[in-house]
């Protein structure tokens, strides 16, 4: 069982999911690795929150820790409350009831997540039999309904297919059907569109939107693709080296990034028109810090053109920075001593 430390007290509010000071570390041969460092986040009912950052920044570890899916070597502290119920440090029997029913997951590669020797209908049905106590016949009938819900044609025939008989996009839809089978309060989608072509990707995102609208499920979507975030998310959380470095409404973050790392990610992403012809994409210089040597300073300082002695000496708090008149200051947070400037508001013309 995963080793845990006592959770801090969190105020119960209207959020479905409340994460406070979540910290996850692993004991390794080379020392203790701090994979997640004091992450705090709220997820409101029916809200879609996107989590972005480079590989190894702690996105998936954060997601897996919510329902106790990390290995025994993980050491967790902080608080994760699902509608007021503390999950960090709770009994394994409680977590088993939560997994799949209250918090469900869509994993990155369905071919490695689905059982190759069981039909997709049998695998969806197992979730319903365990959590909803359905009979095998009733679970199969419900599996057909769920496959139709996620947009799989001829669901009554497809329910008896094995995973290898389905395309990548259809397998991902099967994973979504399994995840929403019990009407979870929180759906965690970890890179749900990886390796899918653009058309299939758009279909998967539309399925997630429809499920949010029909079921009222809150969704935490993890991806490297900023285009996916712009398309589906209401708010964005940017992670770097295990820490949250920026959090904002999606439109405000894309229009006015305040952390230098966020600005670097946006500049490194291809944009139609802006990167036409021979113009090269910008890149973020330097390397991601080694997580076993987390400094008590800004983790992005070695790669930041605006870094000074203050950045190297102390870690900036995640604080309100605002973005002019476009958004309330409390809605846009960044952990940066020298946030990117916001454009000045243009004076409005007044007709005489």
Q: What is the pLDDT of residue 352?
A: 36
Say whether both 323 and 218 belong to one domain: no
Q: Looking at the domain assignment, is residue 8 inside a domain?
A: no
Q: Which two tokens stand for residue 140?
A: 């199969």
Q: What is the pLDDT of residue 36?
A: 95
Say whether both 58 and 173 belong to one domain: yes
Q: What is the pLDDT of residue 273?
A: 59
Q: What is the pLDDT of residue 7?
A: 39
Query: Which alpha helices (H) appear in 180-291, and where do they start and end?
Result: 198-215, 226-232, 250-255, 260-267
Contact 302/293 with Cβ under 8 angstroms? no
Q: What is the pLDDT of residue 112?
A: 85
Count of structural domains within the chain: 2
Say whether both 165 and 112 belong to one domain: yes
Of 205, 233, 261, which one is at a domain's C-terminal end? 233
Report pLDDT digits (tens) over 2-34.
554 433 333 334 899 999 999 999 988 878 889
Contact 243/300 with Cβ under 8 angstroms? no
Could you give the CA distance from residue 83 to residue 66 in angstroms, rounded to a whole number? 13
DSSP 14: S
Say whether both 202 and 258 belong to one domain: no
The ranges of the chain with pLDDT < 50 are 1, 4-13, 275, 324-328, 344-352
Say whether both 245 and 338 belong to one domain: yes
- Look up the domain containing 200 and give its range: 45-67+89-233
Q: Looking at the domain assignment, is residue 107 inside a domain?
A: yes
Q: Which two tokens stand for residue 146?
A: 């769920």
1's enclosing H/E stretch is: none
Say whether both 111 and 219 belong to one domain: yes
Q: Looking at the domain assignment, is residue 98 inside a domain?
A: yes
Say whether both 193 and 301 belong to one domain: no
Q: Looking at the domain assignment, is residue 79 inside a domain?
A: no
Q: Looking at the domain assignment, is residue 254 inside a domain?
A: yes
Q: What is the pLDDT of residue 322?
A: 64
Q: What is the pLDDT of residue 277?
A: 56
Q: What is the pLDDT of residue 175?
A: 92
Say whether both 194 and 49 belong to one domain: yes
**SS3 call for 206:** helix
Could you give the CA distance from residue 81 to residue 192 in angstroms, rounded to a whole number? 24
Q: What is the pLDDT of residue 324?
A: 46
Give CA 342 to chain center in angstroms. 26
Q: Looking at the domain assignment, is residue 247 inside a domain?
A: yes
Say whether both 100 and 141 belong to one domain: yes
Q: Looking at the domain assignment, is residue 171 inside a domain?
A: yes
pTM: 0.87
Say whether both 263 and 149 belong to one domain: no
Say whether both 247 and 318 belong to one domain: yes
Contact 319/259 with Cβ under 8 angstroms? no
Q: Looking at the domain assignment, is residue 281 inside a domain?
A: no
| Whole-number Cα distances in Å, 265 to 25, 268, 282 | 26, 5, 9
Say whether both 205 and 251 belong to one domain: no
| CATH code of residue 129 | 3.40.50.300
């Amino acid at each position: 069982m995963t080793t845990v430390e006592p959770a801090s007290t969190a105020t119960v509010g209207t959020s479905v999911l409340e994460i406070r000071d979540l910290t996850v570390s692993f004991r390794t041969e080379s020392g203790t690795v701090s994979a997640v460092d004091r992450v705090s986040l709220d997820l409101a009912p029916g809200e879609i929150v996107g989590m972005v950052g480079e590989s190894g920044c702690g996105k998936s570890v954060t997601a897996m820790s919510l329902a106790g899916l990390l290995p025994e070597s993980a050491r967790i502290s902080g608080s994760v409350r699902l509608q007021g119920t503390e999950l960090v440090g709770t009994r394994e029997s409680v977590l088993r009831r939560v997994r799949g029913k209250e918090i469900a997951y869509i994993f990155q590669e369905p071919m490695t997540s689905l059982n190759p020797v069981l039909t997709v209908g049998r695998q969806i049905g197992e979730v319903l039999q365990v959590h909803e106590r359905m009979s095998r016949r009733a679970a199969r009938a419900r599996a057909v309904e769920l496959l139709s819900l996620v947009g799989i044609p001829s669901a009554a025939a497809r329910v008896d297919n094995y995973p290898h008989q389905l395309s990548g996009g259809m397998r991902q839809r099967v994973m979504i059907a399994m995840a929403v089978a019990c009407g979870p309060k929180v759906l965690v989608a970890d890179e749900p569109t990886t390796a899918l072509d653009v058309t299939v990707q758009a279909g998967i995102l539309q399925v997630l939107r429809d499920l949010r609208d029909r079921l009222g499920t809150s969704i935490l979507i993890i991806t490297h693709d900023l285009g996916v975030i712009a398309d589906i998310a209401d708010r964005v959380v940017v992670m770097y080296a295990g820490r949250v470095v920026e959090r904002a409404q999606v439109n405000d973050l894309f229009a006015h990034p305040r952390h230098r790392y966020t600005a670097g990610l946006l500049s490194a992403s291809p944009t139609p028109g802006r990167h036409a012809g021979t113009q090269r994409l910008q890149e973020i210089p330097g390397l991601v810090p080694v997580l076993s040597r987390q400094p008590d300073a800004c983790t992005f300082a070695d790669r930041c053109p605006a870094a000074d002695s203050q950045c190297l000496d102390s870690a900036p708090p995640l604080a309100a920075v605002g973005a002019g008149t476009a958004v309330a200051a409390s809605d846009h947070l960044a952990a940066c001593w020298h946030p990117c400037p916001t454009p000045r508001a243009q004076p409005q013309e007044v007709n005489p």
